[in-house]
Chains A and B, each alone.
Chain A
Amino acid sequence: MSPLARTWRWIKAHVVLGLGLLVLVYMFVPIAVVVLMSFNDPGKSKNVYKFRSFTLDNWTNPCHPAGMCHAVGLSLGIGLLATVVATIIGTMAAFGLVRHDFKGRSFANTVIFLPMASPEIVMGSSLLALFISGSKIITLGFWTIFIAHVMFCLSFVIVTVKARLAGLDDNLEQAAMDLYANERETFWRITFPLVLPGILGAALLAFSLSFDDFIITNLNAGQETTFPMFVYGAAQRGVPMQVNVIGTLMFLIAIVIVLGGELNNRLKARALAS
């Protein structure tokens, strides 16, 4: 085969992969900008949309902009609390839906699907309408944000855990029962460990949804300011470069967690194979 034909064949075989990788590169362009800008020294200039000169100041002094670290703390607090609550009650619901046959199951599935199918602005504004009519009982603030976050994380948790549960091989549980494990032992020693990766994945998803939410939070936050709200507010005047430090950190932490999980799986698989 002539070299030309060979090259042509190679191109034909790899064109889809190449295009796919291009799309992936496109997805990382804004991240690269966030990382780059975390080292930017805007100096006196008000133009925060241009890289001026290199500095480490943003990294050594991340809490410099007034109120930013407080906002990050609030987002972390709400994120953790909402994740724990949504993961627990969502996992329970997933077990109920997959493991039991009962009246109204398909109705329950529909209600669970709906929050994922509603635009955030509609969910946020309807919650606000409820909180306004109940303003004698509850004031907008930490707890209304918490309530909203658990609400929109729940469906995602239920769907994720359900998928894991539905894919479970119930022969393993049968085997445990055959070996005289009672229901409780079977659950905690077989079922739960097998579902755990799904639950952890759901928790990670819930946390990232909560930490990142702006539209619903902004409507229901009252006087509180979460990190996305801080960024949005700052964007009107010119963002402090330190928000890019937080963005970069979040990205790095997520990568470490996800890659760590993947590595753990590979090591386990290797240990089992040998």
Chain B
Amino acid sequence: MPRQGKGRYTAYWLLAPGAIWLGLFFVIPFYSLVSASLFDPNGSVLTGYDVTYHFANFGNAIKNYYPELLRSLWYAGLATLVCLVIGYVLAYAIAFKAGRWRNLLLVLVIAPFFTSFLLRTLSWKLILSDHGFVVDTLQKVHILGSDGRLLNTWFAVVAGIVYNFLPFMVLPLYASLEKIDGRLIEAAGDLYANPFKAFFKVTWPLSLPGVVAGTLLTFIPAAGDFINAQLLGGPGQRMVGNTIQSLFTSTQDYAAAGALSVILMALIVGLVMVYIRRAGTEELV
């Protein structure tokens, strides 16, 4: 219900503080990041940096860190897919099968996430640790070799990402499933569609906005995450987030770190654009 208020400028006054904050601390920093990515790589914290439009930073960053970049996209993509499958089951159960327990179940979905992100991840480290219950059991049934382990493998990292970003998938899925009129699914049944056909012809297409929103909200933070790789993975599981973090904090190579951040952002924006176009839900944003 947008309307022209009595003061034409009321909207601007209301928006001003938020706009200034986001402008100063989100938009401008992004510019500084892009300019940092063009720093002369020979600068240092002591001598200062010059923006020398050193575009070679990008080439060097890709050349040096492409395994981490690819690994990040691959881990994040796989984790998003797993999240989609198990998140869909949970959201579907809450939306259609939970009856009056709906709200309680929704609270339960969010509740674990009030315990610190890091503590939850450390908790997984304990669960998957060597000589822990899970590893011992898997070794007994010979799924893992007798010296096999879960920690420091890609499995542990992806499992951690799946766990930590699952609510970002479940909540949008639930929001769009809940809106579906149950009578449509019944109608499909009346018209002799079996449950599978009814699901793929009616429920799934109607839930697509939730699927798109959920996969984006899961994939984006997952691709930039480094906590899971740090705590659950080994040196072979480093993701691009780990590299950016250490370039900024320990190596203090701001030029390379800036270039790598810009590349990551560009990759994500590019993938997201293609994906949204494919999914045909451009009105999402």
Q: Tell me if B12 and A102 are in contact (CB < 8 A).
A: yes
Q: Tell me if A133 and B32 are in contact (CB < 8 A).
A: yes
Q: Tell me if A93 and B272 are in contact (CB < 8 A).
A: no
Q: Tell me if A231 and B18 are in contact (CB < 8 A).
A: no
Chain A stretch 185-240: residues in CB contact (< 8 A) with chain B = 208, 211-212, 214-215, 218-219, 227-228, 231-232, 235, 239
Per-position binary interface string of chain A over residues 1-45, scored 1 when its CB falls under 8 Å from any chain B CB and 0 otherwise: 000000000000010110111011011111101100100000000
CA distance A128 to B248 in the complex (A): 9
CA distance A110 to B119 in the complex (A): 33
Per-position binary interface string of chain B over residues 202-236, scored 1 when its CB falls under 8 Å from any chain A CB and 0 otherwise: 00000000000000110011011111000100000
Chain B stretch 11-32: residues in CB contact (< 8 A) with chain A = 11-15, 17-19, 21-22, 25-30, 32
Q: Which residues of A contact B104 (CB under 8 A)?
A: 262
User: Closest residue of chain B to A27, judged by CB?
Assistant: B112
Q: Tell me if A17 and B98 are in contact (CB < 8 A).
A: yes
CA distance A29 to B159 in the complex (A): 13
Majority secondary structure, A binding face: helix
Binds A, one of B57-65, B122-130, B137-145, B179-187: B122-130
A251 contacts partner chain B, Cβ-Cβ < 8 Å: yes
| Also in contact, A20 and B97, with CB within 8 A (given A113-B285, A247-B115, A258-B110) | yes
Q: Tell me if A112 and B257 are in contact (CB < 8 A).
A: no
CA distance A123 to B112 in the complex (A): 25
Instruction: Output the least CB separation between A69 and chain B (Å).
Output: 15
B172 contacts partner chain A, Cβ-Cβ < 8 Å: no
A96 contacts partner chain B, Cβ-Cβ < 8 Å: yes
| Most B C-beta atoms less than 10 A away, residue of A98, A100, A123, A128 | A100
Majority secondary structure, B binding face: helix
Q: Which residues of A contact B125 (CB under 8 A)?
A: 49
Q: Tell me if A121 and B224 are in contact (CB < 8 A).
A: yes
B contacts with A, residue count (CB < 8 A) = 89
A148 contacts partner chain B, Cβ-Cβ < 8 Å: yes
B54 contacts partner chain A, Cβ-Cβ < 8 Å: no
Q: Which residues of B contact A14 (CB under 8 A)?
A: 97
Q: Tell me if A235 and B118 are in contact (CB < 8 A).
A: yes
Q: Tell me if A122 and B118 are in contact (CB < 8 A).
A: no
CA distance A212 to B15 in the complex (A): 27
CA distance A102 to B11 in the complex (A): 7
CA distance A199 to B25 in the complex (A): 23
Q: Tell me if B97 and A92 are in contact (CB < 8 A).
A: no
Q: Tell me if A259 and B107 are in contact (CB < 8 A).
A: yes
| Most B C-beta atoms less than 10 A away, residue of A20, A151, A243 | A20
B113 contacts partner chain A, Cβ-Cβ < 8 Å: yes
Q: Tell me if B89 and A23 are in contact (CB < 8 A).
A: yes
Instruction: Output the least CB separation between B234 and chain A (Å).
Output: 14
Q: Tell me if A49 and B29 are in contact (CB < 8 A).
A: no
CA distance A121 to B267 in the complex (A): 14
Q: Tell me if B114 and A250 are in contact (CB < 8 A).
A: yes
Chain A stretch 118-175: residues in CB contact (< 8 A) with chain B = 118-123, 125-130, 132-133, 147-148, 150-151, 154-155, 158, 170
Instruction: Output the least CB separation between A217 and chain B (Å).
Output: 11
Q: Tell me if B120 and A34 are in contact (CB < 8 A).
A: yes
| Also in contact, A208 and B114, with CB within 8 A (given A121-B241, A231-B122) | yes
Q: Tell me if B29 and A92 are in contact (CB < 8 A).
A: no
CA distance A133 to B33 in the complex (A): 10
Q: Tell me if B86 and A23 are in contact (CB < 8 A).
A: yes
| Also in contact, A125 and B93, with CB within 8 A (given A90-B18, A92-B15) | no
| Also in contact, A247 and B107, with CB within 8 A (given A115-B26, A119-B223, A235-B122) | no
Instruction: Output the least CB separation between B134 and chain A (Å).
Output: 10
A101 contacts partner chain B, Cβ-Cβ < 8 Å: yes
B109 contacts partner chain A, Cβ-Cβ < 8 Å: yes
- The 8 listed contacts between A and B (C-beta, < 8 Å) are A30-B123, A34-B123, A111-B22, A115-B22, A117-B272, A154-B22, A244-B119, A248-B115
4 further A-B contacts with Cβ under 8 Å, apart from A129-B35, A215-B224, are A49-B125, A102-B11, A108-B19, A232-B118
Which 3 A-B residue pairings sit nearest by Cβ, starting from the closest?
A119-B224, A20-B93, A96-B14
